[in-house]
């Protein structure tokens, strides 16, 4: 299937599907796929993480295998660069598995609970994370449960 004759499935979604199939059954999970640039000069960014982190060797293996699949299935037309990496601490947390692996760390979070306080933007400690919500601790040591759909953005806050 080629990019030119596959209008039913957008390019990032096809890459996402192949990446998810590739890492199925492992301890790794797909965080995001980003495709930028134009035909012939595209950059395909694939962010993969693991509950216990992910090493460079594992990322290199995933990159080789995904690159092979992209070539065999002719998913991306023309030249492109494939970049498979972990999301790192600069990228926002986007899924419950990422929150769960960062329990105990400081987060810079922006959220709105529709409780009349308006949008909150502060540095908190992540105390717990379930599939539905997180428990955060404010600097004054009060705790609050925040559902994921109330979180606009959350990033790891570096201690320095």
**pLDDT over threshold 60, residue 6:** no
Q: Give the C-alpha separation, 21 to 16, whole Å.
A: 9
Percent over 70 (pLDDT), the chain? 94
Cα distances (Å, whole numbers) of residue 48 to 42, 100, 122, 126: 19, 15, 27, 22
Given a contact cutoff of 8 angstroms between Cβ atoms, the answer to whether 65 and 58 are in contact is: no
Q: Give the C-alpha separation, 12 to 25, whole Å.
A: 22
Cα distances (Å, whole numbers) of residue 13 to 5, 28, 69, 116: 15, 18, 14, 38
Degrees, nearest 5: CA angle 120-123-127: 100
Q: Quick one: CATH architecture of 11-85?
A: 2-Layer Sandwich (3.30)
pLDDT per position as a tens digit, 94-111: 999 999 999 999 999 999
Domain covering 96-156, topology: SH3 type barrels. (2.30.30)
**pLDDT over threshold 90, residue 144:** yes
pTM attached to this predicted model = 0.80
Where does the chain hold its CATH 2.30.30 domain(s)?
Answer: 96-156
Handedness of CA 155, 156, 157, 160 (dihedral sign): negative
Smallest CA-to-CA distance from 74 within 2, 148, 10, 153 is with: 2
């Amino acid at each position: 299937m080629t990019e030119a004759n596959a209008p039913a499935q957008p390019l990032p979604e096809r890459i996402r599907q192949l990446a998810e199939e590739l890492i199925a059954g492992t301890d790794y999970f797909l965080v995001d796929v980003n495709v930028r640039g134009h035909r012939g000069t595209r950059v395909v960014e694939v962010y993969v993480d693991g509950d216990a982190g992910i090493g460079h060797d594992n990322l290199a293996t995933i990159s080789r295998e995904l690159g092979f699949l992209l070539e065999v299935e002719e998913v991306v037309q023309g030249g492109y660069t494939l970049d498979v990496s972990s999301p790192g601490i600069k990228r926002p947390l986007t899924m419950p598995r990422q929150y769960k692996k960062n329990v105990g760390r400081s987060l810079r979070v922006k959220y709105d609970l529709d409780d009349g306080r308006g949008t909150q933007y502060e540095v908190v400690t992540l105390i717990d994370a379930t599939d539905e919500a997180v428990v955060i601790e404010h600097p004054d040591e009060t705790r609050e449960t925040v559902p994921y759909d109330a979180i606009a953005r959350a990033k790891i806050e570096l201690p320095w």
